[in-house]
Each structure stands twice: as C-alpha cells, then as structure tokens.
Amino acid sequence: MRRIGIWIAVGGLLLSAAACGGDSGAGGGTPSARTLSVGFVAEPANLDFTSTEGAAIPQALLVNVYEGLVKLDQRGRVVPLLAEKWEVSGDRRTYTFTLRKNVTFSSGAPFTADDVVFSLDRVRTDWKLKIKSQLDVVDSVTAQGDSVAVVTLKRPSNGFLYAMATRLGAMFSRTGVADLANKPVGTGPYTLGSWRRGDAIRLDASPSYWGEKPALSSITLKYFKDATAMNNALLTGGIDVISSVQAPESLQQFADPGRFQVIEGTTNGEVVLSMNNARPPFDDRRVRQAVRHAIDHKALLETAWAGRGQPIGSMVPPTDPWYEDRTGDYPYDPAKARELLGGRTFSVKMRIPNLPYAVASAQVVKSQLAQVGITADIEPLEFPARWLDQVFTKGDYHLSIINHVEPRDMGIFADKSYYFHYDNPEFGRLLASADEGTERQQTDDLKRAAKLLSDDAAADWLFLFPNLIVARKGVTGLPQNGIAESFDFTALARQQ
C-alpha cells in the first residue's frame, strides 16, 4: 500500500507543478509581446572583442550594442549607420564620413568625430587580435569639427570600407573602455542588462537610442552546449528562436506551421576540409587533388547535415559579387583519385573540433577516403581551446574540418603561416591587386584567385553552412541570410 502511496505523491507533485505553470505557458517564465529569448550555441568568454577572439562576442554585441559608421545589409552591401553619408576622393585614398547628430552612448556621453578618431586609433594601439591588420592600410584619422571624420589611406583599398562594417569599425566612447570585458558601452539600440555566466545574456532596449526604437524591451540570449537541449527548449517554450540549428535531422519536429517557422538561407560559413599543405602527404598537390575527387559532396551533405546547405567549390560564398560555381572542378571520381595517388596509401591524422557538423562530416570523409586508400584517424578536440592550440596555432594535423565564418575571408590563404600553410605567390599577388584596383578589377582578380585555390586544391570545401533558423510563429524580423558578424536583433519583433 505504501508503495502506491509514494507514486501517488510523486505524481501529485508533478501534476501540481505542471498546473502552477499552466497559465504562463510551458516553462521559461512569462513570455510577453515585448521580450524574446534566442538560443545560441557558443557563449562569449568575455565581452571584449578587441582582445578576445571568438565569433560569439561580435555575434551578440555588434550592431546591437556597438555600432560602426557603416553596416552590412541583408544582401551584403555596405550601408550607412552612424555615418549619414561618406565621400571618397578621386584617388580613392581619402574617406570623408559625415556623422549623424544627436547620437549618444549608453553612458550618456555624446558621440562625436573625436570618438571616431579614438576608436580607429585604438585598433592600432590597443587591439590584440591579428585581424586588426585589415586596418593597417589606414594612414591617419582626423576630426573636422564634431560631425566630420576623415580617414586617409596609405593606398587605395576596396577592403577598407568592408572592414569598417565588421567589429574593427565598432565605435567606442572615450570614457567607456575601462572594463570592456564586462561593461560594454556603445551607441546601439540595446545595452547589456545582465549576464548569468554559462547560462544567458540579457540585452535591454536602450532608452536613449538615436534611431528607431526596437519593438522589444529586452532580448535574452540563451546558450546551449547541446543541440537536442536547444531543440527541446523551443519545443517546450523555453526559448522563441533557435539562431542556428545544430541538429538538422531534427527539423521534422518543427514541421507544424501553426506553431513554428523555419528560415533557411545562406551564410559566409565555408565548412573547409583543411589539409596541411606543409606536411606530407598533403604537400603533394596530386594527393590533395585526389582527396577532392574522393569525396562525394552531395552524399556528405545528405548524411552529415541532412541535405541542408549547399555544395561549394572554393572559398567564396554565393552572396559575394565574385562568386562563381566551382563545384564542377573536382567531380566525385574515386577512380581518378586512386589514379592520382598512383597506388600509394596513407595514414593521416584528422583532428577536428568537437562540434556537431565537424564530427558528423569527419565520419563521412573518413569512410570515403578509405575507399581510395587514405586512412584517416579522427580525433575530436575540445573547441575552441584545444583545437585552436593544437591545429590552428601549432599546425599539428594533416586534416581538419572547420566552418570558417568570417566574411570575405579568402585572404587567409594568402598568409602562408596560417594553418593551411598554402604557399602560392600568385594568389597573394591577385589579392593585393584586387584590393587596390577598381571594382571591376577586384571582381575579376578575386574570381581568378578563387579558381586558383580550387585548382591547387589548397583545401577541400565540404559545403556552405546553411543559415537555419527555427522560430515560433509570429516572430518577425529574423535575418534570412547570416552574412554579417553579428546576429542583428534590431528588426526583431513578436506579433500576438
């Protein structure tokens, strides 16, 4: 009898707990029309993207908390933000930005041309990341009054304005950089509300925002290490949006259009099968080419990532103006691969980050390489720290798989110290000429550069990572394509 009593007690507890949350929807507090909770995968280590690497920081803060003079629109074009307009001199070396008036930082300090000088100088003096070299082309920054800033370049550069739309162009307050890791001060529509480490960041609408006020009063960025846990949270009302689906096979769960919407677009993320060009056997171009022929990209995408995303043949995503379909360069042809290997067999280390797409893709790559005589030993490393240390920094790998998410990042192949160790002077020459030349020349040069990468089999490109967002019905303003460094919350709203 007592046994039954316990089960009744446990059951009653469950029921009463379920009931007390019944009126507020299933879990996750009380959703109101003015708040929204978005699930993310990677949590920032801290909030200072001037000294700490990691896509998670600009993803949360750029455009939302920090703003630049310009930003990227949904089609990847550079559009005005804190600058109303800009003019480029005839020799393309001087950029004159006219700033918006009545812009203030969340600290209350006004935003002026002096802050532009301060922020851009700071990139050179205080930033600790190597990507700051993208602004090495800047010669000087001067303020003309409060609302005009003039940037002079050492030479013409097509990449300059684009770099200004990334985190490098974020505007900081002269009085707001004391504790960047914990207290960001920007001009954006949101400010940092609270941060429960390991759990969630809350952004609150800034009362003093200069532009159109966001429709939401606060947004919670909730961090999940487990893809299934994130799915379950959306299914049960714990969150409203999955910012990037990490378990694409599970999409069926969200098939009911009465409850959910699925957004599928493209990103800048090339999932690259990196080959160490400096280390045998992949210092041999024929071996690298064999790898490209040995992989059935369609089958890989179908099995590893549920067919979401698209095959891609080089380091340029379809949203860039110089995109060309290069998927035909190395069609799936195991016989050709074996021929290129000429009867040689290899045993190699495939050291990958322990991320869902990499672990899934690696198993397919291993199986397909085995068919042509290359034995790959998969070793998942904790991401980010261990992978960065072993593969990225020390270059101790033969093969790896990683999603290179930075926009317009073909240039990483030009640096032969970069972990690919790809070394072809012609490639660097094409990139330099593209940066200095006219827009037309830029497009032509970059197309040729992308073809060269593909021909040389500097790496293999497994697929273009999809922008796969699932949201509750009624959430609007979600980005169709994930092509900027930030997850733009400014247009986000909820209809009820």
Q: Does residue number 27 form part of the binding site for other proteins (CB under 8 A)?
A: yes
Q: Does residue number 385 form part of the binding site for other proteins (CB under 8 A)?
A: yes
Contacts of 222 (CB under 8 A, 6+ apart): 37, 38, 39, 40, 199, 200, 233, 238, 239
- Rounded to a whole number of angstroms, the CA Rg of the chain reads 25
Nearer to other proteins, 77 or 197 (CB): 197
Nearer to other proteins, 175 or 354 (CB): 354
Sole binder of other proteins in the list 28, 110, 211, 334 (CB under 8 A)? 28
Q: Does residue number 122 form part of the binding site for other proteins (CB under 8 A)?
A: no
Sole binder of other proteins in the list 40, 160, 330, 392 (CB under 8 A)? 392
Q: Give CA 374 to chain center in angstroms.
A: 31
Q: Does residue number 378 form part of the binding site for other proteins (CB under 8 A)?
A: yes
Sole binder of other proteins in the list 192, 219, 306, 312 (CB under 8 A)? 306
Q: Does residue number 389 form part of the binding site for other proteins (CB under 8 A)?
A: yes
Sole binder of other proteins in the list 205, 364, 446, 483 (CB under 8 A)? 364
What is the DSSP track for 330-365?
A: S---HHHHHHHHTT--EEEEEEEES-HHHHHHHHHH
Q: How crowded is the C-beta side of 150, counted as CA atoms within 13 Å?
A: 9
Tell me how far apart the alpha carbons of residues 422 and 412 are, in angstroms, rounded to a whole number: 9
Q: How crowded is the C-beta side of 248, counted as CA atoms within 13 Å?
A: 21
Q: Does residue number 369 form part of the binding site for other proteins (CB under 8 A)?
A: no
Paired with 110 in beta bridges are 104
Minimum distance between the CB of residue 385 and other proteins, rounded to whole angstroms? Answer: 3
Sole binder of other proteins in the list 128, 213, 259, 429 (CB under 8 A)? 128
The binding track of 189-228 with respect to other proteins, each residue x by CB under 8 A or -, is -------xxxx----------------------x-xxxxx
Minimum distance between the CB of residue 212 and other proteins, rounded to whole angstroms? Answer: 31
Paired with 463 in beta bridges are 271
Tokens 């397909």, located at residue: 368
Q: Does residue number 491 form part of the binding site for other proteins (CB under 8 A)?
A: no
Minimum distance between the CB of residue 293 and other proteins, rounded to whole angstroms? Answer: 17
| Number of residues engaging other proteins in binding (CB under 8 A) | 83
What are the strands, taking DSSP E only, across 419-491?
459-472, 475-476
Q: Does residue number 383 form part of the binding site for other proteins (CB under 8 A)?
A: yes
Nearer to other proteins, 47 or 69 (CB): 47
> Kind of pairing, strands 200-205 and 260-275?
unpaired
What is the DSSP track for 191-233?
A: EEEEEETTTEEEEEE-TT-SSPPPS-SEEEEEE-S-HHHHHHH
Sole binder of other proteins in the list 68, 169, 189, 238 (CB under 8 A)? 238
Tell me how far apart the alpha carbons of residues 330 and 399 are, in angstroms, rounded to a whole number: 18
Nearer to other proteins, 113 or 362 (CB): 362
Site for other proteins in 343-362 (CB under 8 A): 354, 359, 362
